[in-house]
């Protein structure tokens, strides 16, 4: 821990910063919770309050409708008004509200104690007694999409409605009330510049034939609902603010006591630990002496730090021994790498005095040592043994098994047997003492140099790729036998490949085709063949370089997980020999 960190810890800035974060987090959590709960509460409160107003308006409308029907001839008055209205022309209807227009209905309104006079005073009493915006009788006319007033006791200056006065009505409003009486009374919400937001409840007035004559309407203004919700919101917000501040204060106080203070003690112990280590002090109880008993993760952290301190001390005591052991293992691995590389043919050209063929091979282990191996050797003056093998597993066990397999395979080959017999004898020898249950895949071929005939056998290895002098590389899907070391008593089948001047054979291990990029996509045999055929006429060394470059470009920075081994042989034949069909 550097000087700046020490100074910040001593000045209390770190503790203050955590406290502020705790306070801000608590406040924000309470505010967000309060806002969400307030929205939900307002929604429920608004719906409940609106339903109360609507239920009240419905009750008022039912009472007023009963009074209007039983106390006077409301249906007859409605029919008389609508009969006059429907008899007028469009031009005459446009004069609604004028003295001349209202004179057309004067016979209905002038009689003292008549239906209009009784209904007006009755509705006026209902309006004065109840907390509603308006109560009135009106009827819709579908043809003109208008609401025609019958009786309206609301006195509002120029907006007074007399019998026959009308206003435009929305078609949805007309359909709501004219078609909505099935199981429940309909209601309609509307917004107008003149009246604002209103909720209207209507009850029909029918004649003796049960036909609609008019409706008794009760309007409830939404202003009261909105004002009530605002009052509720202000009260809720004030209570929420008080509770939020109280929770934030209590929460911050608790966090300082149970979180900030123990963290500062652990940080101080860490500073003292670093200081004592720099000064080579023998103090080993920086964290064990804290005695933090919070009963949570901080207590576990202090105990873990105490355990870590003890383990670090023990580790430092053994550090010299561990370092020396690591260096020894590294030296042995490096020596094993050199030994393994020395066991494989690595000088090219391997047979400078033989110009009948050209051969090149490489092996790149995924670790310091690998399990793949290749080999080529002269069995006699006219026969060249070719080996490509892949041992199961990786690392030192695979390398040891590889050396044993290579030695046995070459020994069996030098006895002058056929390819199939060599693999069978090798399998017999390995199975007899294979306690580790390891196995090796092998492609083994014997090139008869004088004729160009390759006699090969395949023990579970990859398919070879063959290129004719005037063509391109193609996979030869030969018959596979069981892997070497898999089961005793296996007989392998062999086949022949006739090579002509310029023909090539390419053999490899699955580290080539199973190389993967960062997206776990395999390099595959198609990309391998594409790389081989980028220069099919090139030398074996260049062909292997082309394949390796293609794999490197494909995998990019991805780690190599398997050994990559390749070998290519070009048959040149005798100078006087030509291809024959």
* Domain layout of the chain by residue ranges: 72-227, 344-571
- Which pLDDT belongs to residue 156? 59
pLDDT digit string (tens) for 424-434?
999 998 888 77
For 419, the token pair is 């390819």
pLDDT at 182: 45
Q: Is the pLDDT of residue 184 over 60?
A: no
Beta strand segments in 180-321, E: 187-192, 196-206, 212-221
Query: Taking a C-beta distance cutoff of 8 angstroms, is the pair 161, 135 a contact?
Result: no
Distances in Å between the Cα of 199 and the Cα atoms of 46, 289, 385 are 14, 74, 102
Peptide bond preceding 349 in cis form (omega within 30 of 0):
yes
Q: How far, CA to CA in Å, does 546 sit from each of 102, 366, 480, 553? A: 105, 20, 28, 11
How many other CB atoms sit within 10 Å of the CB of residue 161?
A: 22
pLDDT digits (tens, 9 = 90+) for 12-68: 444 456 667 766 777 777 778 777 877 887 777 767 777 777 777 778 778 777 877
The residue among 127, 100, 318 whose CA lies nearest residue 221 is 127
* Alpha-carbon gap, residue 20 to 568, rounded angstroms: 71
pLDDT for position 40 = 83
Q: Where would I find the beta strands (DSSP E) of 169-297?
A: 187-192, 196-206, 212-221
Q: pLDDT category, 339, cuts 50, 70, 90?
A: low
Q: Which CATH architecture has domain 344-571?
A: 4-Layer Sandwich (3.60)
pTM as predicted: 0.47
User: What is the Cα 458 distance to its own chain's centre?
Assistant: 47
Q: Which of 307-311, 465-469, 535-539 has the lowest mean pLDDT?
A: 307-311
Domain 72-227 CATH superfamily: PAS domain (3.30.450.20)
Q: Comparing C-alpha atoms, which of 71, 61, 223 is closest to residue 127?
A: 61
pLDDT higher than 80, residue 248: no
């Amino acid at each position: 821990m550097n000087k700046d960190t020490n100074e910040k810890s001593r000045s209390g800035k770190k503790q203050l910063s955590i406290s502020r974060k705790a306070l801000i987090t608590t406040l924000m959590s309470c505010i967000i919770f309060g806002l969400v709960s307030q929205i939900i509460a307002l929604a429920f409160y608004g719906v409940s309050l609106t339903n109360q107003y609507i239920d009240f308006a419905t009750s008022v409308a039912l009472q007023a409708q009963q009074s209007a029907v039983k106390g006077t001839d409301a249906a007859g008055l409605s029919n008389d008004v609508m009969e006059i209205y429907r008899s007028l022309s469009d031009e005459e209807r446009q004069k609604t509200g004028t003295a001349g227009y209202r004179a057309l209905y004067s016979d209905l309104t002038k009689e003292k104690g008549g239906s209009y006079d009784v209904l007006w005073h009755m509705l006026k009493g209902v309006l004065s007694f109840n907390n509603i915006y308006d109560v009135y009788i009106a009827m819709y006319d579908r043809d003109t999409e208008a609401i025609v007033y019958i009786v309206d006791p609301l006195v509002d200056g120029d907006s007074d409605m007399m019998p026959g006065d009308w206003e435009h009505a929305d078609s949805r409003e007309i359909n709501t009330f004219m078609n909505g009486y099935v199981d429940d009374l309909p209601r309609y919400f509307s917004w107008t510049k003149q009246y604002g937001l209103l909720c209207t409840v209507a009850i029909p007035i029918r004649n003796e034939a049960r036909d609609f004559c008019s409706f008794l309407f009760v309007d409830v203004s939404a202003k009261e609902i909105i004002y009530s919700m605002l009052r509720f919101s202000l009260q809720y917000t004030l209570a929420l603010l008080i509770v939020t501040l109280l929770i934030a204060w209590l929460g911050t106080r608790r966090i300082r006591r149970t979180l900030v203070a123990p963290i500062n003690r652990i940080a101080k112990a860490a500073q003292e630990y670093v200081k004592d280590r720099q000064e080579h002090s023998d103090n080993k109880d920086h964290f064990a002496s804290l005695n933090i008993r919070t009963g949570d993760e901080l207590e576990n952290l202090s105990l873990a730090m105490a355990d870590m301190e003890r383990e670090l001390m023990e580790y430092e005591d053994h550090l010299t021994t561990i370092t020396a052991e690591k260096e020894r293992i590294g030296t042995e691995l490096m020596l094993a790498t050199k030994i393994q590389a020395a066991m494989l043919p690595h000088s090219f050209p391997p047979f400078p005095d033989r110009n009948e063929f050209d051969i090149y091979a490489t092996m790149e282990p995924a670790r310091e040592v690998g399990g793949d191996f290749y080999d080529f050797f002269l069995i006699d003056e006219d026969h060249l043994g070719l080996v490509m093998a892949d041992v199961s597993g990786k690392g030192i066990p695979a390398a040891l098994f590889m050396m044993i397999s290579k030695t046995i395979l070459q020994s069996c080959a030098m006895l002058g047997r056929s390819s199939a017999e060599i693999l069978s004898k090798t399998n017999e020898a390995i199975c007899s003492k294979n306690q580790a249950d390891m196995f090796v895949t092998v492609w083994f071929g014997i090139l008869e140099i004088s004729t160009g005939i390759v006699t090969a056998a395949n023990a579970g290895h990859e398919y070879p790729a063959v290129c004719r002098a005037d063509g391109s590389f193609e996979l030869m899907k030969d018959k596979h036998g069981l892997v070497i070391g898999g089961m005793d008593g296996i007989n392998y089948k062999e086949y022949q490949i006739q090579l002509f001047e310029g023909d090539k054979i390419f053999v490899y291990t699955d580290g080539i085709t199973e190389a993967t990029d960062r997206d776990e996509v395999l390099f595959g045999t198609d990309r391998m063949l594409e790389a081989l055929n980028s220069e099919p006429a090139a030398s074996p060394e260049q062909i292997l370089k082309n394949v390796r470059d293609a794999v490197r470009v494909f995998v990019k920075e991805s780690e190599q997980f398997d050994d990559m081994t390749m070998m290519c042989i070009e048959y040149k034949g005798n100078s006087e020999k030509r291809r024959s069909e």
